[in-house]
Amino acid sequence: MSVVFERKGNTLIARLSGEIDHHSAAEFRESIDREAELLRPELLLLDFGEIGFMDSSGIGLIMGRYKNAAAYGGTVRVINAPPMIERMMKLAGMSRLDVI
């Protein structure tokens, strides 16, 4: 489980790798929140290209970052999600929030 950050102008890219479950979600959340709080990006991109597994904790992770970003006027998008994870997000209604 790791997060690598890249900043491009007013965009913060968080490249997540590993699995998102109950245990790792808290670590991902803390790391992303710490970086986003410092930079307050207009756009936070959560790159799920290296996520091999995600349970419902991942939905909570995304929703929490969405709410945090909205509080300071930013937005969140999930990019490079594997098909099964993208399907899970769509079933959870995340496409209505324009996150995916």
Burial of residue 31 (CB within 10 Å: 0-12, 13-18, 19+) is middle
At 97 the pLDDT is 78
Of 39, 51, 30, nearest to 12 by C-alpha is 39
At 41 the pLDDT is 97
Q: Which fold has domain 2-97?
A: Transcription Regulator spoIIAA (3.30.750)
Instruction: For helices 56-71 and 22-39, give the axis angle rounded to 10 degrees.
Output: 20
Is the pLDDT at 14 greater than 80, yes or no? yes
Q: DSSP for the chain?
A: -EEEEEEETTEEEEEEEEEESHHHHHHHHHHHHHHHHHH--SEEEEEEEEEEEE-HHHHHHHHHHHHHHHHTT-EEEEES--HHHHHHHHHTTGGGGT--
Residue pLDDT, tens place only, 47-94: 999 999 999 999 999 999 999 999 999 999 999 999 999 999 999 988
At 73 the pLDDT is 94
Is the pLDDT at 95 greater than 80, yes or no? yes
Domain residue ranges of the chain, discontinuous segments joined by +: 2-97
At 96 the pLDDT is 81
At 1 the pLDDT is 84
Residue pLDDT, tens place only, 18-31: 999 999 999 999 99
